Structures are given as C-alpha cells and as structure tokens.
Chains A and B, each alone.
Chain A
Amino acid sequence: MSSRSKAIASISAVVVAAAAALAAPAAASTDTTEPAGDGEPAEELAGGEDVTLSLLVDNTETTVLLTEGLTSAFSELHPNVSFDVEQRPGGADGDNIVKTRLATDEMTDVFIYNSGSLLQALNPQETLVDLAGEPFLGNVVDEFIPTVSQGDGVYGVPFGTGIGGGVLYNRETFDEHGLSVPTTWEEFAANNETLLDAGVTPVGASFGTTWTSQLFVLADYYNVAEEVPEFAEAYTANEAHYADTPAALRSFERLQDAYDSGWWNEDYGSATYEDALQMLIDGDIAQYPMLTFALSEINALDAEAAQSIGFFAQPGEDAESNGMTLWMPAGAYIAATTEHEDVAKAFLAFIASVEGTEVQTAAAAPGGPYMIEGATLPDDVLPAVQDVQSYIDAGNFGPALEFLSPLKGPNLEQITVEVGSGLRSAEDAAALYDEDVEKQAQQLGLPGW
C-alpha cells in the first residue's frame, strides 16, 4: 500500500518536473550533455584508448531501435568507444540465455533485461556490478530503484519508458460502432457484444506468441490491489494466493470469460504478436490486450495507423476505482565480468540522463513516461501514450505485481494459454499457478515457503 502511494507521489513529481522542463526545454537538456559519473571530460573515457563495449539486447523492435539510437549517440560523444551488439530472443528462451551466460562468465559488458521479479533470479549480488552510490542514480525516479535492487545493491538504470498494461483499441472501429471507452468489465462486455453483432472480432488473442496470453491476468493487478491492497506482501509471504483470493482469482476468470463469450479472433491459437498488431492496425480486431511498448512497433509498421490506436486500462468491477497497471522499464546492467567497468558506467549514465531519453524518443516512439527525473515526452506523442499519461496525471495507476513481489511463476504463459483456449477452468488455473509460484519461491529461498 505504502509503496503504491509512494509510486503515485514520485511519478506525479516526474510529471511536474516534466511540465517545468517543457517551460524551458533547451536549457534543461543542454545542461545534462555531460554524462554524470566519472568527472573526466567526455572524450577522455578510458584514457582515449579504443574500447569496444559488448552489449546483449532482446530482439523486440523497440529494444533494437533504442539500442541503435543510444549506441550511435554515445559513440558520437566518445569516438573511441564502439559497440558490439548481440541480440537474443525474449521470453523464457531469453531468460535462459541470460542466466547461463552469467553463470558461465560469458556475459557481455552491458546487457538489457527485465527489472522486477525476473532480475531477482539472476543472483545480481554476485553477477552484476553494484551501482549504489553512483551519482547518475540520482537521475532515476525513486520508484524504479527497488525494481533493480537486491539487498543494499542497486544494479541497473531504466532502459526505455514505463509501460501501460491494458487494452489497445482501434479508435476508428470504436467511432464507427459508436462505442466509448469502458470503465467496468460489464461495459467492456457490452461493447464486445455490439461488435460481435456487427460482425467485428472484438478482442485479439495471439497465443502463437505464448507470453501475450498473460495480459488479462497481469494487467488486472491494479483492480486486485484496489480490492486487496496488501495482496503483494501477503502473496510474497505465502499468506495469500491466487486461488484463495477472490479478487485475484477474478483475473483468471476474465480470461475464461473472454474465451467463453467468443471474443477471440478465429486463429487465436496460432496468431503471433506481430499478426495481432497487424490485425489491430487493419481493424480486423477492435481491441488487443497488450502492453503499450507495442506502440513503437505499431508506429514502425504504420505510422499513420498508429495515430488511430488508443489505450484504456483493463476494466474492473467498479468504475470508481478504474485505473492502470504500470510496468516499469527494463534495466541496463553491467556484468561483474566486464573489463571496461568505467566505460560501461559512463554508458549507463548516458542512458539515465535527460539527453539519453531524448535520444530514445528520437529512436523509437515512446510507449509511456520515462523513469528519469526531468525527462519529458514530446507534444506529438501517440494518442495511446497520451491515454497512458492521463491515467498517470490523474494518479490512477499502480505497478504490476512483478514489481512489488519477487515471485512470478514461470509457467503462467502456458496456464493462461490453456484458460484462454478453454482447456482449463479459471479456478483450476489459479490453483495450478499457485503451485508454480511455490517452486519459484523455494528456488529463491524466500522465508515462509
């Protein structure tokens, strides 16, 4: 509870700071050209010797664009630093690669990886360079810090933007059928019935890319926390579970409801994430439960169509408590095995600077707010990002469960595919997921399990 209100407070602070920066944009950004951290003149990194920094990033379009933008901007500032970028798959395959490479001392100097619960499983205290006390951490929004910390150590800086979790929708389709943004699940269902009657597929599902099946469950967490504010703590302490907490069980029921009501596209089982984005752009599906980082990819696919995509938070029981589940950005981390720690730190300082965020904005359409103090979004951000921002401005948002608890069961995506395909009931799925979480808790050695 307290951490959520803190989140709201500090992100409102960003918004205020952002407004201030807007008032004096040029001054605010030129001041921070110098990467904070090592005090040396920028060109003198590594004593002017040629350094190649190796980098491991995931292969989503957004990450690739951001990486290209950031590395070339950094090399321009420091001509003696070049980059060797490797890509890896996302999802469980990617987790596997990152863990194995860390464990075998084969990790690149810097790598991009999730913050929150997934980071906890990397054993950061032994495998990553502790950044606690580095001046550039001062630029990072306080709320982000716990998601890249373990014990007293802080291990990463935010890479990319905060991300809204909810439903992307085609505004043209909504206008055409006279629909308005739903604030309760009932309204959502009524919209979908209207669309079904009109012969439009209401909701897209893309279980060919299994992780996308989790959205209805994970993006519902704001609603869970509204009803059971202490859920995250109790869940981490083995005192509350999905199966025995009605508000949490409801997250699985949403998914079952969607399948039972026939909202999915016909090829839900084999459609991929990319297919679903294209369907949304083409108006073949009216809505797609997704994280807003997809907006950069939609923008890259079809910049014009991206202007007609909107976003709303996953509707819950009560319109009064409607709000958005927020994902923290991924982190940029330095492997403990690096031979270029100072250069790597300077690169992280650059990522965590206002100037770094401007480079990121130029490289890929931002999908939400930056977690950097003083960073601003341009006025011409995509409409869906403005939708995200409006939840933040109103204070109606809270972090996803994976940023409040180190526990996330690895089989959730298979379980949600089963629920979303009508192969398993919501109750059964919640109980099964609780068992999955238990394994994770034991592996992490958490007390109470």
Chain B
Amino acid sequence: MTRAIRHDDPEWTGPVPAVAPVSRGARASMARRSGRGRSPYPHWFYLPVGLVFVAIFVVPTGMAFFYSLTRWTLFDWEFIGLANFRQFFREPALVKGLRNTLVFAVVTSGSKVVLGMALAMLVTSRIKLKGTIRSIVFFPVLVSTVAVGITFKVMMHPTKGLINTTIDAIGLAGPKWLTDPQIALLSVAFVDIWKGVGLATVIFIAGIVSIPSELPESVSVDGGGAWARFRHVILPLSKPATFTVILLSFIGGLRTFDLIWTMTGGGPGFTTDVLASTIYKNYQAGFYGLSTAGNVVLFIVVTLLVFPLNWYLRRRELAT
C-alpha cells in the first residue's frame, strides 16, 4: 500500500486521502479503456438490469406521484389535485414529525460519528482483545431492527424493565424511558446509536488503517503527542470516512421507521412521530392517496437535504 503510493506519486505532500491514489489510478485506466472509443460490449447488455430498474423503481415512483394526486381506496380512485398535499401539511402530527425527524437524524448521525471515531481509534490502537471488541461493537448491526426494538422496549419498561430494575437496585429512580414525552425520542435515538455505531466504526477503521504509518510516526519524531497525531493526521485523513458516515447515518435517520414503530408506535400520543410513521398511520387508516402524498413529501425532503449535504461534503473532501 505505502509503496504503491510512493511509486505512484513521489511528489505527494499534502494530506490526500490514502485511498485516492489507488482509485485515481483505477479511474484513469477505466477512462483509457472506454474513453471515446466504443465500448467492447453492446448496449443491450444494459437491458436486463434496465428492465428491473424500470419495473421496480421507475414505474412505482411514477405511480406514486400520480396516486398522490388522488383520493384512493385501493379499489378505485378520484382525482383531487393537490388536496392531499394541503391536507398532509395541515396534519397535526406533521410539524412535530418533521421536527422529530430532524432531531433524530442529527442526534443519531452526530453521535455515530463521534462514538464511531472513538471506538475505531480504540480498536486500531495496540490493545489486547482487539478482535473481541471489534466483534462486540459490530454485533448489533447484524441483529434485526425489529428484534432490537422489541427487546429494548421490554428492557425500558418503567417498572419491570431490566434497565430500571438495575437503577432501582442502586437506590435511584429511573425515568420512564419510552412513556415520558420529554425523553422518549432520545431513548429511541440511543437504541439507534447502539445499533448503528458498529457500522460507523467499521468505516472509520477502514479509513484509519489505510493511513500510511509513516505519517503518525513522523508526528512522533517531531515531538507531537497522541492528541497531535489524532488532530493533525488521523482526523483530516479520515475525512472521506467521516463524510460517508455522516451521509449514511443522516439519510438513515431521516427515513427511520422500524425502530420507532416497534418501540413507541409514535407515542405517547404523537410525541415520537416522525415523517415515516405519520405516513404509515395514514396508510393504516386507509387514506392511501394521502399517505402516498406523504411519501412524495418524504422523497422531496430527503432529496432537498441530502443533495446539498452530499455536494458540500464532496467539495470539502476534494478541497483537502
């Protein structure tokens, strides 16, 4: 790895992400191969995957845009223009749902970045039980979200749950994790972080491991301590990993549903409703047009938030 970089780019000075030279090389060779010239493969090779894409993505999306303009009972529909959207924006749970969605996305993705980075530092350092810790951190990622939600719902029961009985045992009173409207959303966010931090850690590990070992070493030679190594070498060089984690967990947070639904069902009342659960409840109620309109809104909201974020992060990434 290190040799390849030196060989490839002897003039290398700045903190370019370590993976960049490799991918740059790969990209260059691919460009050379396809280039302006004709691809050696006929275009109809695209056909099978194109058909799948059209059948299960383009057509349903188009239908969703259409049905969002109708009052739809699954059995028949009536065109009502933008009335669903007007209705959806008047939805009492919507404002709260939008706020909750953003709070949830920001809290979970922020925590995953910080905790994921810390854990990645821990398991890439020279400590015992490295492999075991890695497995423990990653394990929750493998468990089904619904199972996690149900398990934590039981554990967070205010009187009979494991968490509060433990707190009781040391003489304190635990809060009503999921039924106190002040903290219910944060309790769910905590579980989401517990479940998702393993993936963030793995991405960070990949980023940190690919940093050439000479760089932190040279900081040590220059008399820098552990903090300087982290602050001036590891943190800037794992920027691509950081951006990947932010983007993935932010999108995940925006469209989160399964965990909230299994743990609180949006309750108590509407206090932990997010966009997706508001939409789902409309679907349950049989307001199919209205809930489809909600999905169109979710589509637009995610797009409006993620595209600029992606663009900004990309730019930062290239600038460094």
A residues near B, CB below 8 A? Answer: 92-93, 95-96, 99-100, 103, 121, 123, 126-127, 207-208, 210, 266-267, 269-270, 410-411, 414-415, 417-418, 421, 423-424, 432, 435, 439-440, 442-443, 445
Interface size on B, residues (CB 8 A): 31
In contact, B176 and A423 (Cβ under 8 angstroms): no
Q: Which residues of B contact A210 (CB under 8 A)?
A: 265, 267
Q: Quick one: which of B68-105 are within 8 Å of A by CB?
A: 71, 73-75, 78, 87, 90, 92-93
Q: Which residues of A contact B78 (CB under 8 A)?
A: 445
- Not counting A92-B284, A95-B285, a sample of 7 additional A-B residue pairs whose C-beta atoms are within 8 angstroms of each other reads A123-B73, A267-B179, A270-B159, A270-B179, A410-B285, A410-B286, A414-B269
Interface of chain A, helix or strand or loop or mixed? helix
B65 proximal to A (CB < 8 A): no
With A126-B75, A210-B265: A269-B158 Cβ-Cβ less than 8 Å: yes
- A129 to chain B minimum Cβ distance, whole angstroms, is 16
A423–B286 Cα distance when bound, in Å, is 27
In contact, A439 and B269 (Cβ under 8 angstroms): no
B197 proximal to A (CB < 8 A): no
A435–B270 Cα distance when bound, in Å, is 15
A284–B290 Cα distance when bound, in Å, is 43
A439–B90 Cα distance when bound, in Å, is 11
Q: Which residues of A contact B283 (CB under 8 A)?
A: 96
- B61 to chain A minimum Cβ distance, whole angstroms, is 20
With A270-B176, A439-B87, A439-B290: A423-B284 Cβ-Cβ less than 8 Å: no
In contact, A207 and B268 (Cβ under 8 angstroms): yes
B residues near A, CB below 8 A? Answer: 71, 73-75, 78, 87, 90, 92-93, 157-159, 176, 178-181, 265-271, 281, 283-287, 290
Q: Which residues of B contact A411 (CB under 8 A)?
A: 93, 281, 285
Q: Which residues of A contact B285 (CB under 8 A)?
A: 92, 95, 410-411, 439-440
In contact, B269 and A424 (Cβ under 8 angstroms): yes
In contact, A92 and B281 (Cβ under 8 angstroms): yes
In order of increasing CB-CB distance, the 7 nearest A-B pairs are A269-B179, A410-B285, A418-B269, A103-B74, A92-B284, A96-B284, A123-B75
- B289 to chain A minimum Cβ distance, whole angstroms, is 8
In contact, B286 and A121 (Cβ under 8 angstroms): yes
In contact, B90 and A435 (Cβ under 8 angstroms): yes
In contact, B179 and A207 (Cβ under 8 angstroms): yes
- A267 to chain B minimum Cβ distance, whole angstroms, is 5
13 residue pairs from A and B, CB less than 8 Å apart:
A99-B74, A267-B176, A267-B179, A269-B158, A270-B158, A270-B159, A411-B93, A411-B281, A421-B179, A421-B268, A421-B269, A423-B269, A439-B285
